[in-house]
Structure 1
Amino acid sequence: MLRRKKDGLVSSEDETDWAALLLRVRDHQDRAAFAVLFRHFAPRVKAFLMKSGAGASLAEECAQDVMAVLWQKAHLFDPARASVATWVYTIARNRRINALRRARRAEPEELDWGPAPEPDQAEALETRQETERLGRALAALPTPQRTLIERAFYGELSHSEIAAETGLPLGTIKSRIRLALDKLRHRMGEGPKRT
């Protein structure tokens, strides 16, 4: 038998009858019943979400969302199928899963629409000439320096990996690469030779 108490409906065992409160929300949009449900479930839902790995702000946001669903979709509650707590925590779990999916979803890349613009002929020619100059500058390097540059940049090896591969000391690797890069910068800085 239910009787009224200061904080809502209670059973004779002095336990709140959550189903009766939710049915009052469902059938009569009873704000007082909803307030009792909110005071009880909102902090527990937030704690549940935080224990399952959600940050405080996400847990708070989801808890508010769960309580809004409780008010808006009370008509879907069926006490014969589940307890109020089961229903509330199921909504909370689903909201958290949705929030995680949204957080993991990468922002779409900006897509260029339409055909790609034709490359500028002058830029294409300049790029080709620069590539040829780089090839000549690399060929002019002493073989030990050229080999290290090729392994570092084309082979994408770290200095330590090159040292392990060649047996040369790491300091030697670094100094040869630095010297080779200085020579390349100098040769590339000369620009194309004009006649």
Structure 2
Amino acid sequence: MYALNMTDHIIGRTPVLVESDDFSSLLLRVAEQRDKAALAALFNHFGPRIKSMMLKLGSSEALAEDLVQETFVSIWRKAAMYSQQRGAASTWIFTIARNLRIDQLRRQSNKPYEDLDNLEMASDAPLGSSLVEQNQIIARVTLALKALPVEQQEVVRLSFIHDMPHAQIAESIGIPLGTVKSRLRLAYERLRPMLEDLQ
């Protein structure tokens, strides 16, 4: 429903659906002609996908919608910076969205992922020394994760907390599969010395 509101805001009427898969040409129309209908067509296709990605990354409904809006404002302003030689339009658009999400996380307090602080582990003995030990482990893992760059935190969180396959992570945050694997490998290398005694 928010897509129609955004579209109406952009062009002031219901958009003509564009059947073309050529998102690069739509971006070029935005860049060269300031074509609002082309922006609306991009929004109709990518808006729901970006919102879904943000929700999967733990954003609230309102924040996800705000980030979608910010993404398309950035696309409108930066369309001239897009180059087909550097990659697909979809990759460029999802990179803008992902970077806005990272910027938003950095603006927060010193808790880049609040849900990590609330991570609870199941226990057969919820009281006594067992609970204390579990809380210490959670605190250490949370602290170790916060030591990672935000990009690595993101893929570790999606892989282990949300149990997403690598290919789905790549698609949801708009990066190549190889980059997902590389970030996970780098994260493991940094986490191993900090957490090896917990294995």
TM, length-normalised to structure 2: 0.46
Q: Which has the higher helix share?
A: 2
Query: Which protein has greater RCO, CA pairs closer than 8 Å, 6+ apart?
Result: 2
TM, length-normalised to structure 1: 0.47
